[in-house]
Amino acid sequence: MDTITHTLAGVVIAKAMDDKKIGGWGTVAGLAMGIFPDSDFVLGLFNRNFFLQYHRDFTHSIFLLPFYALFFSWLFVKISKRPYFWSFYKICLPVLMSHVLLDLLTSYGTMILSPFFNHRFSWDLVFIIDLIFSGIILLPLLAGLFLKRRAQWICRGSLAGLAVYILFCWFQHGQALSEVRDFSKGLKREILQTAALPQPASPFRWALYVETEDKVFQGFVDLTRKKVPEIASPQASFFDRLNSLYDPSGSISFQSMEKLPDSPWVKKALAADGIKFYYWFARFPVVKSVNSRDGRHRVEFMDVRFFLPGIRLPFVYYVELDDQGQVRSEGFVEDRRRL
C-alpha cells in the first residue's frame, strides 16, 4: 500500500480511539506510526538490490512491532510531556499492525516473519495504489474536520467501510481465481502455482497467472466486461491501452512465456549471484531475451507479475557474459514504461 494511505489510516485509527489523556498527540502518534515502517525506503539510496532485499523486511516484522511500539510510546511521553505511556502504546501498536496488514493485502510481498524467515507473504487482494481504498479513509477524515464532535464515530465508520471493501475484493479475487482454475484444467500438465493479482483502476480487473514446469501463462480479466475489447494502437493513450488488455470472463486470451530457453548462456547466467537473488524476489520469473553480439552474450530476465504488455516492463534484470562464460556486468535495466 502507498505511504500516503498508510499515513491517513494511522490518523483515522488514532481519531477512532480519541484518547482524551493525550489529545492531539494521539493523532501525531498515529501519523508517525503510519509512516514508520516505510522508512526503509532509505535503503534505496544505497542500491536497488539492497532495497528489494530489505524493503518490507525488519520494519514490517510482527515479532518486532511490539518493541517498536514500546520505544515510540516512550519517545512520545518524553516529547509531549504527558505521562500516559499506555495511552500512546494502544495507538502505536494497532497503527503499526495496520500498516503490515495493509501491505499484506497487496501482491508485492511482505516478510512479516523477519528476522527468522525471509518468505514474502501476500494476499493479492488490493492494488498497491487503490483510489477507492484511499477514498474510504480520506473522505471521512475530511468530514471529521468539520464535524469534530462526531469525528470519532465517523472514523470508526471509515474503518468498518474498509473492512467491507476488503471483503468485497476478497470475493472478486475468488471469482478471478475460478477463471484461472478453468484455464488450468485445459492444460493437462502439472501446475506449479497459480495466482490472480489485483490491477490498477478497478477492483474488477485482475491479472491471471498459471505456472507449469516450462512456461508461465498470463491473462487479464475484467469481471464486469461483456464483450472482448478492441486492440488499442501503440499511439493510443495510456488508459485506452490499459483498458484494451482486459477480456470478459470465459473469453480470456492467455499468453505463454517460456521460463528457460535451451541456451548455454541462460544456464551460465543462472549461476550469477544477482540472478539467485532475483529468483528469490521474483514470483513468476522468465527469460525475456537472449542476445549475442561482438563476443558478449546478454540474458535478460523479467518477473511476469509486473508485466503489462505494451505498457510496462519494470524489474528487468540482465547478465552479460563473455565467450568464456564469465560475468562481465549485471544489474537492473531502466524501467520500460512504453514498449
Give pLDDT, residue 44. 64
Cβ atoms of residues 37 and 60 within 8 Å: yes
Mean pLDDT, rounded, for 137-148: 86
Q: What is the DSSP string of 112-151?
A: TTTTT----B----S-SS-HHHHHHHHHHHHHHHH-GGGH
Query: For residue 310, is pLDDT > 90?
Result: no
What residue type is 191 in one-letter code?
I
How distant is the alpha carbon of residue 64 from its chain centre?
21
Residue 170 lies in a domain: no
Query: For residue 223, is pLDDT > 80?
Result: yes
Residue 78 lies in a domain: yes
Give pLDDT, residue 254. 94
Give pLDDT, residue 87. 94
**What value does the mean pLDDT of the chain take?**
90
Residues 242 and 327 in one domain: no
Residue 160 lies in a domain: no
Q: Which three cell numbers stand for residue 57?
A: 523486511
Residues 32 and 93 in one domain: yes
Give pLDDT, residue 40. 81
Domain range for 8 is 3-123
b (16+ CB within 10 A) / e for 188-219? eeeeeeebbbbbeebbbbbbbbbbbeebbbbb
| pLDDT tens figures, 12-44 | 999 999 888 998 899 999 999 999 999 887 766
Q: Which of 218, 234, 258 is the last residue of a domain?
A: 258
Q: Which of 199, 225, 258 is the last residue of a domain?
A: 258
Cβ atoms of residues 244 and 235 within 8 Å: no
Closest to 302 (Cα-Cα) out of 264, 246, 270, 259: 259
State if pTM tops 0.75. yes
Give pLDDT, residue 282. 92
Mean pLDDT, rounded, for 1-15: 92
Closest to 198 (Cα-Cα) out of 240, 226, 169: 169
Contacts of 309 (CB under 8 A, 6+ apart): 245, 255, 339
Query: For residue 46, is pLDDT > 80?
Result: no
- Rounded Cα distance between 179 and 252, Å, is 8
| pLDDT tens figures, 162-195 | 999 999 999 999 999 999 999 999 898 899 999 9
Residues 311 and 280 in one domain: yes
Give pLDDT, residue 332. 87
CB-facing half-sphere around the CA of 86: CA atoms within 13 A: 0
- Rounded Cα distance between 159 and 15, Å, is 11
Give pLDDT, residue 338. 43
Q: Which three cell numbers stand for residue 164?
A: 467491507
Query: For residue 337, is pLDDT > 80?
Result: no
Residue 244 lies in a domain: yes
Residue 128 lies in a domain: no
Residue 184 lies in a domain: yes
Query: For residue 99, is pLDDT > 80?
Result: yes
Residues 182 and 96 in one domain: no
Give pLDDT, residue 48. 67
Q: For the chain, where are the alpha helices, taking DSSP H only?
A: 3-17, 24-35, 48-54, 65-80, 85-104, 131-146, 151-185, 238-243, 264-269, 273-281
| pLDDT tens figures, 252-274 | 999 999 999 989 999 999 998 88
Number of domains into which the chain is organized = 3
What residue type is 62 in one-letter code?
I
Residues 274 and 232 in one domain: no
